[in-house]
Amino acid sequence: MNNWEEIKKQPRLRDVNRFQQNVLKAIEADEKNHSKMVWWRIAASVIVLLAVGSFTWLEFETYTLRTNILVLDNYSKKAPELDMQCQYQINDLIESLKKAGFIIDSRKNAIQFSRQDVEQLKDNNSEYISDIKQFLVVVKEIYPTKYEQFSAGEMVEFNAWHLQKDSRLCDWIR
Amino acid sequence: MEINQLIHKSQKGDQNAFGKLVLMMGDYVFSVVFRLVNNELEAEDIAQNVFVKAWQNINKYNEAKGKFSTWLYTIATRIALDHLKTNHAQINLPNTIESDDDIEKDLDLKLLGELLNTATGHLSPQQKLVFVLRDLEEMDVDEVVQITGYSEKKIKDNLYVARKKVKEVLSKILKVG
């Protein structure tokens, strides 16, 4: 065999068995690393999803709140100014409704109740029952559709901000 | 066990079978990589990476598309070329290579090997790759096309320039010597 052939055959691994062991170890380490990476990716995806979800929810809530405020603002612009006495009376009424446990969402100021709730308060001889009866008279006269729902045993909902600005309530509360 | 059986077993996740493939192909992969990077330690590291990469992608190997060795060389040359591109300015002389022959013959061969490596160290990565595959590993043009993805013309052009440069460098060194 000439020198050229020898040179061409020259580069060989020093220890092919050790090389094999190193390759297998590297593969094992790589697979462990890969499975760790998979878990990290899952965790990162969950965090991103949660972040995006929270942001979307917050955006939606802000939108709802902003819409409510706009509606209220428009309503208050249209509604005539209420005198102080009337304002106090309406606030007292709403306060009684709150104390009776009818406010379901303090942020949106939503008052929600059903016939069953009122009957339960009657049974318990609640101190707020007279205020609630008065409110039901108002509802019957001013919001007949809601009163029909109430009579049918359905849940009815009012926005306390709207009630505070509705001058018609004053005539009936007095 | 036949190489195809080992490949099939490896594709099913049998690491022992893949280990046997490493034993069978280790020297060949190391040889090509060593010719390209001219450094034994780096070549061993790269060859190791080649087999890790091969294990990760073993299911992508399709017998019908070509030989396993060609597929393995493709991975090896890509990794080695990337290495060369990032370390192009560096021309390394090889570390000592073990040989069972007598010391005198061994020294002569080492010297010749080093001269060759010095000469190929002056080639561009593409020229070196083509020169190593064609002239040192004695692969046919089709196989080199498959491994490198270069056209036949590009291979011939690079080989022509590479041979010329190697010849020039070797004659300069030998004249000086």
Are A66 and A95 members of one domain?
no
Q: Does A27 contact B52 at a Cβ distance shorter than 8 Å?
A: yes
Q: Which domain holds residue B165?
A: 3-176
Instruction: Reply yes or no on whether the pLDDT at B102 is more than 60.
Output: no
Quick one: tokens of B159? Answer: 């080989």
ipTM (interface predicted TM): 0.76
Are A136 and A152 members of one domain?
yes
Instruction: Reply yes or no on whether the pLDDT at A35 is more than 90.
Output: no
Are A56 and A88 members of one domain?
no
Are A129 and A59 members of one domain?
no
Count the domains in chain B: 1
Are A47 and A126 members of one domain?
no
Q: How far apart are CA A89 and CA A97, in angstroms?
A: 12
**Among A67-76, A138-147, B37-46, the least confident range:** A67-76
What chain A residue is nearest to B110 in terms of C-alpha separation? A7
Chain A: closest CA distance from residue B52 (Å)? 6
Are A10 and A74 members of one domain?
yes
Question: What order do you get walking across the sheet with A110-113 strand by strand?
Answer: A103-105, A110-113, A156-159
Residues 104-143 of B with CB under 8 A from A: 108-109, 112-113, 116, 136-138
Instruction: Reply yes or no on whether the pLDDT at A148 is more than 70.
Output: yes
Q: Which domain holds residue A51?
A: 1-78
**Among A1-15, A22-36, A49-63, the least confident range:** A1-15
What chain B residue is nearest to A26 in terms of C-alpha separation? B52
* Residue indicated by tokens 């706009």: A70
Count the domains in chain A: 2
Tell me, what CATH number does B157's domain have?
A: 1.10.1740.10
Q: Does A12 contact B44 at a Cβ distance shorter than 8 Å?
A: no
Q: Does B26 contact A20 at a Cβ distance shorter than 8 Å?
A: yes
Q: Which of A31, A49, A78 is the last residue of a domain?
A: A78
Q: How far apart are CA B47 and CA B33, in angstroms?
A: 7
3 state SS of B140: coil
pLDDT of residue B118: 80
pLDDT tens digit sequence for B129-155: 999 899 888 889 999 999 999 999 999
Are A69 and A4 members of one domain?
yes
Percent of chain B residues past pLDDT 70, beyond the cut: 85
Average pLDDT, whole number, for chain A?
82
User: How far is CA B48 from each of CA A22, A24, A147, rounded to the nearest angstrom?
Assistant: 7, 9, 81
Chain A: closest CA distance from residue B51 (Å)? 7
Of B18, B23, B31, the CB nearest to A12: B31
3 state SS of B93: coil
- DSSP tag of B60: G
Average pLDDT over residues A6-21: 81
pLDDT tens digit sequence for B1-31: 688 999 999 999 999 999 999 999 999 999 8
CA angle B75, B79, B81 (to 5 degrees): 115
pLDDT of residue B92: 47
Q: Does A7 contact B52 at a Cβ distance shorter than 8 Å?
A: no
